A and B are shown apart, each in its own frame.
Chain A
Amino acid sequence: MQLDEHLFRRESARMVAALTRIFGVHNLSLAEDVVQDAFCRALEVWKVRGVPDNPSAWLMATAKNRALDVIRRERTATTFAPELSRMFESEWTLAPVVDEAFASEIIRDEQLRMMFSCCDPRLKEEVQIALVLNILCGFGAQEVAGAFLAGRAAVEKRIARGKQSLATSRRLFDLTDDDVASRLPVVQRALYLLFNEGYHSATADSVVRTDLCREAIRLTELLTGDPRTGTPSTHALAALLSLHAARLPGRLDGAGDLSALVDQDRSTWDAALIAHGIARLEQSARGSEISVYHLEAAIAAAHVQAPSVDRTDWHTIVELYDRLLALAPSPVVALNRAIAVAQRDGPERGIAELQVITAAERLAEYPFYRAAFGELELRRGRRDDARSHFEAAVHLARNATERRFFEKRLQRCDSE
Chain B
Amino acid sequence: MSDYIYLFRTTAEARRAAMGTPELAQQSMQRWLAWLRDLEAKGHLKNRGQPLENEGKLVRGKSKVITDGPFAEVKDLVAGFMIVEARDISQAAELAKGCPILEGDGAVEVRPVMTMNF
CB <8 Å contact, A47 and B15: no
Closest CB-CB distance, A360 to chain B, in whole Å? Answer: 42
Closest CB-CB distance, B30 to chain A, in whole Å? Answer: 6
User: Do A12 and B15 contact each other (CB < 8 Å), given the known contacts A44-B52, A47-B32?
Assistant: no
Interface of A is mostly: helix
CB <8 Å contact, A140 and B26: no
CB <8 Å contact, B26 and A45: no
Give every chain B residue within 8 A of A43 (Cβ-Cβ).
19, 25, 28-29, 32
Specify which of B25, B28, B51 is in contact with A45 (CB 8 Å cutoff): B51
Q: How many residues of B contact A (CB 8 A)?
A: 24
Query: What separation, in Å, do the CA atoms of A142 and B19 have in the docked complex?
Result: 13
Q: Is A366 an interface position by the 8 A CB rule?
A: no
CB <8 Å contact, A138 and B22: yes
CB <8 Å contact, B32 and A9: no
Query: What separation, in Å, do the CA atoms of A51 and B29 have in the docked complex?
Result: 10
Give every chain B residue within 8 A of A39 (Cβ-Cβ).
19, 22, 25
Give every chain A residue within 8 A of B79 (Cβ-Cβ).
44
User: Do A143 and B21 contact each other (CB < 8 Å), given the known contacts A44-B51, A46-B33, A48-B49?
Assistant: yes
User: Do A51 and B33 contact each other (CB < 8 Å), given the known contacts A6-B26, A12-B22, A143-B21?
Assistant: yes
Q: How many residues of A contact B (CB 8 A)?
A: 27
Closest CB-CB distance, B46 to chain A, in whole Å? Answer: 13
User: Do A48 and B26 contact each other (CB < 8 Å), given the known contacts A40-B15, A40-B19, A140-B21?
Assistant: no
Query: What separation, in Å, do the CA atoms of A142 and B20 have in the docked complex?
Result: 11
CB <8 Å contact, A140 and B23: yes
Give every chain B residue within 8 A of A160 (Cβ-Cβ).
none
Specify which of A8, A49, A143 is in contact with B29 (CB 8 Å cutoff): A8
Q: Is B16 an interface position by the 8 A CB rule?
A: yes
Query: What separation, in Å, do the CA atoms of A43 and B33 have in the docked complex?
Result: 9
Q: Is A42 an interface position by the 8 A CB rule?
A: yes
Q: Is A7 an interface position by the 8 A CB rule?
A: yes
Specify which of B19, B23, B33, B52 is in contact with A138 (CB 8 Å cutoff): B23
Residue of A nearest to B36 (CB): A47
Interface of B is mostly: helix
Residue of A nearest to B20 (CB): A140
Closest CB-CB distance, B8 to chain A, in whole Å? Answer: 10
Q: Is B111 an interface position by the 8 A CB rule?
A: no
Q: Is A406 an interface position by the 8 A CB rule?
A: no
Residue of A nearest to B15 (CB): A40
* Contact bitstring B22-66, A, C-beta under 8 A = 1, else 0: 111110111011001000000000001111101000000000000
CB <8 Å contact, A3 and B26: yes
* Contact bitstring A116-153, B, C-beta under 8 A = 1, else 0: 00000000000000000000001111110000000000
CB <8 Å contact, A8 and B25: yes
Q: Is A169 an interface position by the 8 A CB rule?
A: no
Q: Is B112 an interface position by the 8 A CB rule?
A: no
Give every chain A residue within 8 A of B98 (Cβ-Cβ).
none
Residue of A nearest to B21 (CB): A140
Query: What separation, in Å, do the CA atoms of A48 and B33 have in the docked complex?
Result: 10
Query: What separation, in Å, do the CA atoms of A11 and B26 have in the docked complex?
Result: 11
| Residue picked from B22, B29, B49, most chain A C-beta under 10 Å | B22
CB <8 Å contact, B22 and A9: yes
Q: Is A36 an interface position by the 8 A CB rule?
A: yes
Query: What separation, in Å, do the CA atoms of A46 and B30 have in the docked complex?
Result: 11
CB <8 Å contact, B22 and A3: no
CB <8 Å contact, B20 and A36: yes
Query: What separation, in Å, do the CA atoms of A403 and B92 have in the docked complex?
Result: 51
User: Do A143 and B23 contact each other (CB < 8 Å), given the known contacts A3-B30, A42-B29, A46-B29?
Assistant: yes
User: Do A47 and B19 contact each other (CB < 8 Å), given the known contacts A3-B26, A3-B29, A7-B26?
Assistant: no
Residue of A nearest to B28 (CB): A43
Residue of B nearest to A15 (CB): B22
Interface, chain A (partner B; CB < 8 A): 3, 5-9, 11-12, 36, 39-49, 51, 138-143
19 A-B pairs whose Cβ atoms sit less than 8 Å apart in the complex:
A7-B26, A8-B22, A8-B25, A9-B23, A36-B16, A36-B25, A43-B28, A47-B32, A47-B51, A48-B48, A49-B51, A138-B21, A138-B22, A139-B21, A139-B22, A140-B20, A140-B21, A140-B23, A140-B24
Interface, chain B (partner A; CB < 8 A): 15-16, 19-26, 28-30, 32-33, 36, 48-52, 54, 79-80
Further pairs besides A44-B51, A46-B29, A139-B22: 16, Cβ < 8 Å: A8-B23, A8-B25, A11-B22, A36-B16, A36-B20, A39-B22, A40-B54, A42-B25, A43-B28, A47-B51, A48-B48, A48-B49, A48-B50, A48-B51, A49-B48, A140-B21
